[in-house]
Chain A
Amino acid sequence: MKVLFINNDGGGFADYVELEEGTTLGQLSDSKMHGAKASNYLIRVDSRPAARDQVLQEGNRVSMTPTKIEGANASLLLAA
């Protein structure tokens, strides 16, 4: 089966991947996100949060996107 996988690591990925029937979200993330810290990503299936053991279905859209993107102004922080 094919699922659309979206991620920005490496060269970036936004394409269909071929998976075995019964593949879970956890198995996909382990294979694609080797060494990544899970808490640094929001993982969604078809725009909804999903559990690691969710079995993926043909045509699912899986996105693994960064979390806690934040910036600060050092000079003003020092002054505050």
Chain B
Amino acid sequence: MLRFTPTAWAKLLFLRDLGETEIGGFGILAKDDLLLVEDIELVTQSCTWVHVEFDDVAVAEFFERQVVAGRRPEEFARIWIHTHPGRSAEPSGTDEATFQRVFGRSDWAIMFILARGGESYARLRYNVGPSMDAILPVEIEYGWDFGASDHVAWHAEYEANIRTPGPEPADATLTKQASCVFSPHEQDHDHGWFDAWHEYADFDRSLEEAEHGFIRDF
């Protein structure tokens, strides 16, 4: 079972919900319990609604910083954590390719995904001997001492590391909402697009009288 301290879990939820994009990082594990995540550390990364990519130099600096802090690689480089903005935490082909390419030469590694809708996915892979994969249940570990939240520091870490593209055109939001209709994981659950469409199509309500006539806000 993969466990998170309440503080680590709170930080992950905070970071997941701070923006609208995917975000990712590494889990920092307890020295004497390599299935207990004590912290989540971000590295500089480019993020969009559907994609996250770590900066290679930032990853190198993260490794070097952790080693200087006295940690072994198995304590900081074995749990790859990222979020999905939708409801599904199922790994994509890109996720699987990264897990194989980046973590496939380590003795073991875990891919952990947390979706905005609350679903999570944790898979442990052993790469030694008869290699194997195992889906792990996830729990919050309340039995250990844990620290308080620190939204100011977490926000600063987010601001320092998350690079997002500039603002999209005004109508992109509607396009994005509408496109969710075709998501196989979301079409049965999310009806927000339907309301958005009605609002969009409601000519009478959206007509506004302006100085030189009527305008419509698309």
Interface residues, chain A, CB within 8 Å of chain B? Answer: 4, 6-14, 36, 40, 42, 44, 47, 61, 63, 65-80
Contact = CB atoms under 8 A, between A and B. Distances in A.
Contact of A10 (B51, B85, B106, B184): B106
A40 B101 contact: yes
A71 B85 CA distance: 12
A73 B84 contact: yes
Given A76-B85, A76-B86, A10 B93 contact: no
B90 interface: yes
Interface residues of B, number: 51
Given A47-B60, A47-B61, 8 more contacts: A9-B105, A11-B74, A14-B72, A69-B54, A69-B59, A74-B91, A75-B185, A80-B179
* A-B residue pairs, 4 tightest by C-beta: A12-B73, A74-B92, A72-B94, A70-B53
Contacts of A14: 67, 71-73
B183 A78 contact: yes
Contacts, number: 144
Interface string B92-112: 111100100111011100000
B183 A76 contact: yes
Nearest to A61: B64
Interface of A is mostly: mixed
B80 A8 contact: no
Contacts of B54: 68-70
A67 B102 CA distance: 7
B186 interface: yes
Contact of A8 (B57, B77, B92, B185): B77
A25 to B, nearest CB: 14
A42 B72 contact: no
Nearest to B94: A72
10 contacts: A8-B105, A65-B56, A67-B59, A69-B54, A69-B102, A71-B24, A71-B98, A72-B94, A77-B50, A79-B180
A55 B107 CA distance: 30
Given A11-B74, A71-B82, A72-B51, A77 B92 contact: yes
A4 B68 CA distance: 11
Nearest to A11: B107
B38 interface: no
A76 B74 contact: no
